[in-house]
Amino acid sequence: MALQAVRESGALLLLLLLVVLASYSVSTVHGETVQITGLGTVNGSETTTARTQQRVLQFLNIPYAEAPIGPRRFRAPVAIGPWVGVKDVSIEGRPCPQLGITDLLPPLEQTRSENEDCLSLSVFTKNVTERRPVMVYIHGGSFTGGRAADYPPNYLLERDIVLVVLQYRLGALGFLSTMTDVIPGNVAMLDMLMALQWVQDHVSVFGGDPSRVTVFGQSAGSAAISALLYSPLVPPTAFRQAILQSGGSTSAWAVDPNPVDNAREVARFAGCNPAQPIEDVERCLLELPVVMLLRAVQAHTLDRMQDQGHNNVGGSGMVVGGPTNFLPASPFNLLRTGQVRKDVRLMAGVTKHDGSFMMTGIYDSLNAVGLIENRAFNQFDLIDTVNRILGIDENSGTLAGFEVDSLFSQEELASGNFTRLMNGLIDIAGAIVIKAALLRDVQAIAQHSSEPAYLYTFDYRGQHTRFGYGLPTAHYPFSGGVHHSDDNIYLFPYPADVTNLNAADTAMSETMLDLWTSFAINGVPSSSRGIPTWPRVTGPAGPYLHINNPATVGTNFYDEYVISVHTPSAANVLSIVRTP
């Protein structure tokens, strides 16, 4: 009897334990554990919003494609299959291979093929039972850097949206092309398409509405979204709205014009024999340790930038044609023949001094060979040299002539003083690298789409800046002004040294959150925080919104091409040239 009592007592305890566990399991279904239909179960973690401490569920590294390793390196992604058990997605995912991260791993870790297993996305939501608008972020980084972990949700999830941040293959792994099925090129763009299809198929279990998806991105991420507007491979259901921040696909740096020659050059820098048949070159590239491949692309890029300019760099730009046919023609040729999405609502803009980030590398390169102080070079050759590096090698002198007339006084040019020419050079860089290409996309939507386009320039200069991206900047005779990616300071709490916003910057962040999320929620960017009604674009150059304190409406976006030199109000713009 005593033994029977012990058995019954043990059975009762086991039953109670199962009840407790079942109760815990039910509670976590609506908390950190989610069943993804057709794939499996994921277990996430929690964070809170930055200002009101609302609870946010985060699922940080959900795979959307099989590992692109071994023979799958360089090839189109393969959709992830179902898994057994609960997949832990509570911590940040592995970034895609890139210099500054992968090459800093211990030597043995660098050689692991698992480093290339990085095709994941992160989902952030406050309520898995709702159907809220979805914002999908595509990160920038010159198509060679970046990771989902750099774009946390703690600002944007103050509003009622679901945020998805995706990772895609970078550099040679995503863009190198021999124009064959072995290394077709544009596989990073196919990664993005697969991730967007994953959103359509699965975001509803996280509380997102797949019929209300807005894609947004900055710099290279913006250029990628721009290309999605022109590619025939993008289904109309992938997204309904897009936000472009400082990037367009018609920029010289976005497309590789000579992919096969450039692939051979990358192979040469990697120690392969570029003169061999292409099959042998491909075999060598497939077998290279990933860090060696990354360094080869870097060496090729530096070499081409010096001698031929941005428009001749390979291994980190989209290709036209090829086996994937993601772009059947160049983005500009697709644009001017009206082959652009006709049903996309667009919001797009730049930062005021969007070219200052390019001038750091140009300054360092010219300074290294003693040309910064060369008066004759600065008088006669500097502008053409800067144009060439930025991607426009114009032989007649027409472009340089218009630039001189618009941006430099005769006294400045005659001085041969690099610092005195800096404002104009930053405007040249901003227009060539960022502003002109983005305006092309806005014009295409304004002309061909049935939906409106909204255009802006981000003019607010706050306490923090991303000028230098963490590297020393004191030796430059200029500041970054309202620098490339400074707008993201107010949308994402990253990096750590720019997350402590003062009162004015916090107010600007709240305004930015209003504008970005209202566009995602109802298609019209608006804010009650001192923002005037934002008119849609009705002509080739505007109107457009100056995001600043106070905000104003401009009429001619071409004024932004000369904004460092010709400012509408000296009191409204701080000089970006430092006193020698």
CA angle, residues 376, 379, 380, in degrees to nearest 5: 85
CB 172 within 8 A of CB 293: yes
Q: Give the helix/strand (H/E) hosting 58.
A: strand 55-63
Among 474, 477, 488, 236, CA closest to 349: 488
Among 124, 128, 150, 129, CA closest to 60: 124
Could you count the other beta carbons within 10 Å of the beta carbon of residue 474? 6
* 3-class state of residue 495 by DSSP: coil
**Cα dihedral value 21, 27, 30, 35, nearest 10:** 10
Could you count the other beta carbons within 10 Å of the beta carbon of residue 356? 29
Phi-psi region of 182 (alpha: psi -120 to 50; beta: other; left: phi over 0): alpha
Q: Give the pair of three-digit tokens for residue 312.
A: 């001749």
Distance (Å, whole) CA 317 – CA 174: 9
Q: What sign has the CA pseudo-torsion 451, 457, 461, 466?
A: positive
Distance (Å, whole) CA 199 – CA 290: 29
- Note if the bond before 568 is cis, omega within 30 degrees: no
Among 442, 437, 400, 435, CA closest to 421: 400
* 3-class state of residue 140 by DSSP: coil
Could you count the other beta carbons within 10 Å of the beta carbon of residue 378? 23
Distance (Å, whole) CA 69 – CA 385: 40
DSSP state of 3: H
Strands 208-218, 241-245: pairing kind: parallel
Marked catalytic residue, from 120, 177, 219, 479: 219
Distance (Å, whole) CA 34 – CA 60: 13
Among 576, 399, 560, CA closest to 476: 576
DSSP state of 272: -
CB 159 within 8 A of CB 299: no
Respond yes or no: is residue 211 known to be catalytic.
no
CB 360 within 8 A of CB 336: no
One-letter amino acid of 43: N
Q: Listing from the earlier edge strand, what are the strands of the sheet with 40-43?
A: 33-36, 40-43, 86-88
Q: Under 8 Å CB-to-CB from 427, ≥6 apart: which residues? A: 355, 407, 561, 562, 563, 564, 565
One-letter amino acid of 339: Q
Distance (Å, whole) CA 568 – CA 545: 15
Q: Listing from the earlier edge strand, what are the strands of the sheet with 120-125?
A: 45-48, 55-63, 120-125, 162-166, 132-138, 208-218, 241-245, 345-351, 453-458, 544-547, 552-554
Q: Under 8 Å CB-to-CB from 414, ≥6 apart: which residues? A: 379
Which positions are annotated as active-site residues? 219
